[in-house]
Amino acid sequence: MAISASDVKLLREKTGAGMMACKEALNTTNGDLEAAVDYLRKKGLAAAQKKQSRTAADGAVVNATSGNTSVLLEVNCETDFVGKGDDFKSFAREMAQFAADNNISDIEALKDAKAEAVNELTLKCGEKIDLRRLLTLNSENTFGHYNHGGKIGVLVEAKVSTSSSETEELLKDLAMHVAAASPKFLDASGIDEDFKAREAKIYTEQLQEQGKPEKMIPQIVEGKLRKLASEVCLLEQSFVKNPDLNVKGHVSEVSKSTGAEISILGFHTLNLGEGVEKKVDNLADEVAKMTQQQ
């Protein structure tokens, strides 16, 4: 019998199993929804999904490349212990490489394609495993990659007329700089007005707290805003490996020494666990609660 998309969707909602696994279950059970649920439970897929309501904020950010495709992928688990394990680290690298090799740019598509592998690792390690965020870039431009221990993944995109070991080192250094200095924009032209307004408000309130004369505050704020680019823009920041130059100046130096035309086009960053509210257990509070209950 024909299995409808709505049936697959319903089974997926009931079990949390991957789309292909749900379709297989329904085909095997001739569309019987309850039998399909049992089928998935027997395979362990539904059981694995019970863990998906847990919070997963540990894990790793991984980089991968394939041809003109560059990928940043965040894979989460529940504890640092599992995140440092060989099984988890190998799994994360395999997922990122699969996304790069197959030019997958949508995290849901990656989840569907690798639902069974996710469930298998969930059952093996006993923790929620989540393919959380995926950034895929397809370009003939050159990318600098840096990964800081699985905690921060960075891609820096550039147009380079002639590639060499020096230009490759430059882009890697710039990716390291991004990880260390956390720029928000490429250059001053990219600073949006809302960001400027928020910063101006903060500066104003700080100066008021310091007791500065009200008449002087607008001028001081204007001066601080002029310096803002050197704090938040990649090309204007002091280069971490040579603070005597800003990043733009360092790029110019490398361009002169190599004879290559180099244009930095942008950067992309994933920080592990960013935006995930992680539960922090307080042992003293837990002991106190237990004592009160006795």
Cα 129–chain centre separation: 15
Do 69 and 118 have their domain in common? Answer: yes
DSSP E strand boundaries for 150-293: 152-160, 238-239, 242-246, 262-271
> pLDDT, tens digit, for every residue of 59-116?
999 999 999 999 999 999 988 999 999 999 999 999 999 999 999 999 999 999 998 8
Number of CB atoms found within 10 A of residue 250's CB: 21
pLDDT band at 180 (very low <50, low <70, confident <90, very high): very high
236 contact partners, CB below 8 Å, separation of at least 6: 187, 188, 229, 230, 246, 247, 248
- Residue 87 and residue 107 share a domain: yes
Instruction: Please name the residues in contact with 83: beta carbons below 8 A apart, sequence gap of 6 or more.
Output: 58, 59, 60, 77, 89, 150
Supply 117's token pair: 């592998």
31 and 67, same domain (yes or no): no
* pLDDT tens digit sequence for 273-292: 887 765 544 445 544 554 45
Summarised one tens digit per residue, pLDDT across range 231-257 is 999 999 999 999 999 999 999 999 999
Identify whether 281 is part of a domain: no
Same-domain pairing of 59 and 102: yes
207's CB contacts (< 8 A; 6+ apart) are 217, 220, 221
Q: Position of tokens 């690298």?
A: 93
Backbone phi, then psi, for 143, in 5-degree steps? Answer: -120, 140
**What single letter denotes the amino acid at residue 207?**
L
Q: Which of 139, 169, 170, 143 is nearest to 156 (CA)?
A: 143
User: Would 76 be classed as within a structural domain?
Assistant: yes
DSSP 190: G
What's the whole-model pTM score? Answer: 0.74
Whether residue 73 sits in one domain with residue 27? no
- Reported as a single tens digit per residue, the pLDDT across 141-153 is 999 999 999 999 9
CA nearest neighbour of 186 among 261, 260, 249, 247: 247
Whether 123 maps to a domain, the answer reads yes
Q: Mean pLDDT across the stretch 116-132?
A: 87
Range of the domain at 35: 5-52
CA 95 to chain centre: 14
Of all residues in the chain, the percent with pLDDT exceeding 70 is 87
Domain count for the chain: 2
